Amino acid sequence: MFDSGFGGLTVARALIDLMPNEDLVYVGDTGRYPYGPRDLGEVRDFALEITEHLLRNHDVKMVVVACNTASAAALDELKKITPVPVIGVIEPGAAALLGASRNGRVGVIGTVGTIGSGAYQRAVTQHNAGVELSCAACPGFVEFVERGETDSEQVHVLAERLLAPLVDADVDSLLLGCTHYPFLARTISDVMGRDVVLVDSADATAFCVSDLLREANALRGDTDRGGVHRFESSGDVEAFRALGRQLLGPELDEVVGLTWPESGN
Ligand code: DGL
pLDDT tens for each residue of 160-208: 999 999 999 999 999 999 999 999 999 999 999 999 999 999 999 999 9
Tell me the domains of the chain and their CATH numbers.
Answer: 2-88+203-257 (3.40.50.1860), 90-201 (3.40.50.1860)
Is there a cis peptide before residue 92, judged by omega within 30 degrees of 0? no
Residue 248: pLDDT band (50, 70, 90) is: very high
Burial of 155 (0-12, 13-18, 19+ CB in 10 A): buried
- Mean pLDDT across the stretch 102-107? 95
Rounded percentage of the chain residues whose pLDDT exceeds 70:
98
Q: Which of 135, 138, 178, 208 is catalytic?
A: 178
Specify the pLDDT at position 221: 77
Specify the pLDDT at position 81: 97
Residue 90 contacts residue 68 (beta carbons within 8 Å): yes
Average pLDDT, the chain: 95
Atom of ligand 1 nearest to the CA of 7: 1
Specify the pLDDT at position 265: 44
Specify the pLDDT at position 88: 98
- Secondary structure class of 29 (helix, strand, coil): coil
Rounded percentage of the chain residues whose pLDDT exceeds 90:
94
Q: What is the pLDDT of residues 33-51, one digit of tens each?
A: 999 999 999 999 999 999 9
Count Cα atoms within 13 angstroms, Cβ side, for 122.
9
Specify the pLDDT at position 261: 75
Residue 4: pLDDT band (50, 70, 90) is: very high
Per-position b or e across 43-75, b if 16+ CB within 10 A of its CB: bbbbbbbbbebbeeeeebebbbbbbbbbbbbbb
Whether 263 has a pLDDT exceeding 60, the answer reads: no
Q: What is the pLDDT of residues 40-87, one digit of tens each?
A: 999 999 999 999 999 999 999 999 999 999 999 999 999 999 999 999
Q: What is the dihedral of CA 220, 231, 13, 206, to 10 degrees?
A: -50
Q: What is the pLDDT of residues 207-238, one digit of tens each?
A: 999 999 999 999 997 776 789 999 999 999 99
35 close to ligand 1 (CB < 6 Angstrom): yes
Cα-to-centroid distance, 221 and ligand 1 (Å): 32
Whether 264 has a pLDDT exceeding 70, the answer reads: no
Whether 262 has a pLDDT exceeding 80, the answer reads: no
205 close to ligand 1 (CB < 6 Angstrom): no
68 close to ligand 1 (CB < 6 Angstrom): yes
- Mean pLDDT across the stretch 15-19? 96
For residue 179, give Cα distances in angstroms to 86, 217, 218, 231. 17, 28, 26, 17
- Secondary structure class of 257 (helix, strand, coil): strand
Q: Is 178 an active-site residue? A: yes
Q: Is 138 an active-site residue? A: no
